[in-house]
Amino acid sequence: MESSQWDTGVSHATSCLAQCGITDIVVSRNIFKTGYLPDIYPDKGILSGLHSAMFHKPNHNLLCVTPDMPGLTYELLRWILASGRVAKSCCHYRHHYLPLYIHNDCVLRETLELKLIDEKTILPNNLTILGCQELVAPYPSQLVRIST
């Protein structure tokens, strides 16, 4: 993703999050600058970024979005946010791992930690470890990513 597309995508995602009342936003990227959250275990895919965010904010549930989803709307985020809070469970839309609501608890953090430090190879984008509920998106086309 080009730098200008990245910046536009981050701005769009930030706007959608702000419309949901979320103002504490960090970007998971291996850059050591303010506003960015580097992985504790680099090169382990999305699980590493989620792990870092969960340990960065251990007393908060998380809503993870991607900047390469131009059709994302705050309504889709509000639905996943409300569903995750009510169920007290991680959730995402069927066939789309992002956006992702993480019910951040000690058991999940420790489970993810053990998987990431294990010497066995794990599939970096396999989110089954999170035990997510799958929601049906009213408009799945809004969840299409422009770079995967």
Average pLDDT, the chain: 89
pTM across the whole model: 0.89
Which whole number is the average pLDDT over 60-79?
94
Looking at residue 44, what is its pLDDT?
Answer: 81
Tell which CATH classification among 3.90.1640.30, 3.90.550.10, 3.30.420.10, 1.20.1280.50 matches the domain 3-141: 3.90.550.10
Looking at residue 12, what is its pLDDT?
Answer: 95
- 1 pLDDT band (50/70/90 cuts)? low
99-139 pLDDT tens trace: 999 999 999 999 999 888 875 656 656 788 899 999 999 98
Q: What percent of the chain has pLDDT over 70?
A: 94
35 three-state secondary structure: coil
26 three-state secondary structure: coil
Q: Quote the distance between the C-alpha of residue 92 and its chain's center.
A: 9
Q: What percent of the chain has pLDDT over 90?
A: 59
Query: Nearest to residue 142, comparing CAs of 65, 80, 66, 69?
Result: 69
